[in-house]
Structure 1
Amino acid sequence: MYGAIEAGGTKFVCAIGNEDLKIIEQESFPTTDPEETMHLVEKFFKKHQNNIESIGVGSFGPIDVDKSSETYGYITSTPKKAWAYFDFVGSLKKRIDRPIAWTTDVNAAAYGEFINSYRQENLNVVYYTIGTGVGGGAIQNGEFIQGFSHPEMGHMKVVSHPEDSFKGNCPFHDNCLEGMAAGPAIEQRNGKKGQEIPVEDPFWDIEAYYIAQSAYNTTLMLSPDVIIFGGGVMKQEHLIEKVRKEFLNLINDYVKTPDIKEYIVTPKLGQNAGTVGCLALAKKLVTKK
């Protein structure tokens, strides 16, 4: 059996899965402060401790993924003040002494989709989550693309829509993807949450324009085989088609991509992509397969 922790900024999802990466038991709870939240994590896994080989963690960030760093396994400069520079891996290891695979939450979701849906074709995959925040992860030849740190695709600059005067709500950058298109930006701009905005509202064309820019930038930088858009905002089923349309306008036939309906897609695993990815990373850590 393997353990999974999808550590989101809003909620934690803990799970146990088997060799086939099937979720056997799953529990979620709000992300509060580290002491309270990690106590609930420990409580969930303690009852399975004798059966767990390893645990995969996909965490909100930024996080330190450099194994040579003194702060490897830490959440670093997060705006969630209680979690800033928290030793996540160290704290978990003290509570549950098992090998721990450590990556970002969006990397974990990307890996879940890759393992479940695309590995047989050995595709290069980019995954974006558009939700409370925006993050991106990329897999090439079965491995995450990263260097001194993990990608922060959610903070790429975007060009404002001609009919949008909103300047973004990111505390670090004006006109970045997260500040313009994440859930809080939608609510701040419209005075209500995305799920309360009618399908026919012209705002969705503006939202699609920003998301399509991330697909445009990704296409020209990485030329992946597939770009997956997940997260709560993408639960608006009409949105993916708008993103495809805007992307085609932006790319303007400059490069030939795979068929658009197979190139820009939503997750096949839905909201379980991150959990399955964490299970897969936990398995990979101890089996090296």
Structure 2
Amino acid sequence: MADTAMPESADPVDPVSSADPVPVTVPRPASAPDIPALGTVEGDDPLDRAVWRLRSRGCWDDAAALLEPHAVRHAPSALRRAALLAERCVFTATGWAAAEDALRTAEALAADDDERGGAACERGHLAYAATVLGVRDRADEARSALGRAAALLAPAAAGRPLLDFRRGLMAEHVADSPDAARAAYRRAHAGATARGDSLLLSFTWRHLAGLALRDGELAEARHGFAESLRIREELGFLIGTAPALAALADAAPEGDADRLRAEAARLFRLMGGVPTWLADHLSTAVTAT
């Protein structure tokens, strides 16, 4: 996840226009936990490229297997492997035990504050996902782990934007505090912009747009959802494209919405019904196409 910065009124890190919202009735977007496990598209190393190709197509087990030999003794590789397996949980609601085992390995290998903070952030992410997917209520564990990550990661740490994003998810979907969520998403977006983290930007655009839709700000929502979709298509993040299409459909005019949902349904079938939580949101389109 051309990463333009978001404006917050006069602040350049807010994606929205300053126009007054038009009071309209709009559907709430799907509350799907569209959560990035790794905030960064991997770089030019052949292993990194191979991991990204597999991950972007939803082949998390295969991607994790590539990292397994390195994850035995190398803390960053162990954390990346745990993050991949956690993302599999988010998209499929399966594989929790494997993700927990991988995360314990990453926690044991962590040797400095950045590594410990990254592992704590991943712990909070996994606990949050289990909570919002209805597997088990681990909200207290998620809060504790994300708070520990905030204490360990310096403000300029590479993992800070992803942590801010995940704290926004907690604020929105667990604490039901959209204002706190918006502030956290904006911090994450600013950090992702500064670091050139396009994939994370696709998530911050999407979730800020979701809050705009919740407030009836349709033009703002459409812009954010469209930016999220554009970035995912440019990156080739195939597994995340159907959710982005479905989100944009929620803010689109009726004719466009039908087309977008049909395309999302086609990709959903192509990916073998993953992400599983998108099924109900697309049920009409899946039946009709």
Q: Establish whether TM, by shorter chain, passes 0.5.
A: no
**TM-score, normalised with respect to structure 2:** 0.26
More helix per residue = 2
More strand per residue = 1
